[in-house]
Amino acid sequence: MAAINQWNFFVEKQLDYDRVTNTLSQYDVIADGAELQGILCGMLSGGMPVSERKWLDVLKDTLNQGAAFPPELENMLTDVFNSLCQQLVEAEFTLSLMLPDDKAPINDRGLGLINWVQGFMLGFGLYQQDMMQCSEDVKEALQDFSDIARMEEPMTEDEESERALFEVVEYVKISALLCFNELGQSLIEDQKDKPSVH
């Protein structure tokens, strides 16, 4: 567990939940880092070609009432996007969800996970309306995401709740990668054409 936490810290230390959420808040964007990363992951998993470069326009429409982002915020959004692309094309299941730190109260982390899942479903739905072509596994994962997004029960600060939350987080990671592997192949194709996502 400690090794996983250290690895997550290493991967995301420049783009952690608090820094991203605070920057969004500074520019009056009503979203946290979890929802932002979830939307981007959902778009990529739903089949958005990276080469379109329309993801920023989508974020403007969904998070900023269509208004342009200031340069500093746009740079940070690009960093989050590039980091996510890098994680998705690596085969070692290194997807690190942008959630509140492990030291944060469990209900804050639970809410972060709900925001991530809601963001994923929003982004996925923008690019994948034809559920008929999705496998049963993907349909089941999205149904589970829908259930997770509606979780309202507060959790108690105990070992059992910690274990349950950890398991749901791991399930969400695996399910997001499943959706991406099935429907988001355009990202890997783009990677072959362009060695860098920058």
- Residue 195 has which token pair? 């060695």
Nearest to 74 by CA among 48, 62, 56: 56
For range 164-190, the mean pLDDT: 84
Residue 191 pLDDT exceeds 70: no
Name the percent of the chain lying above pLDDT 90.
64
Segment of 115-119, 159-163, 192-196 carrying the highest mean pLDDT: 115-119
For range 118-138, the mean pLDDT: 89
Q: Cα(170)–Cα(181) distance, rounded to whole angstroms? A: 16
Q: Cα(24)–Cα(76) distance, rounded to whole angstroms? A: 9
Higher pLDDT, 86 or 147: 147
pLDDT value of position 185:
60
pLDDT value of position 91:
64
**pLDDT tens digits, one per residue of 2-52:** 444 444 444 445 689 999 999 999 999 999 999 999 999 999 999 887 776
Residue 77 pLDDT exceeds 90: yes
* Mean pLDDT score across all residues of the chain: 85
Higher pLDDT, 11 or 93: 93
pTM for the model stands at: 0.86
For range 60-70, the mean pLDDT: 93
Question: Which pLDDT band, with edges at 50, 70 and 90, does 132 fall under?
Answer: confident
pLDDT value of position 198:
43
Domains parsed from the chain with CATH numbers: 2-193 (1.20.120.740)
Question: What string of DSSP letters covers 9-49?
Answer: HHHHGGG-HHHHHHHHHHTT----HHHHHHHHHHHHHTT--
pLDDT value of position 92:
65
Q: Work out the number of other CB atoms within 10 angstroms of the CB of residue 151.
A: 14
**pLDDT tens digits, one per residue of 111-127:** 999 999 999 999 999 98
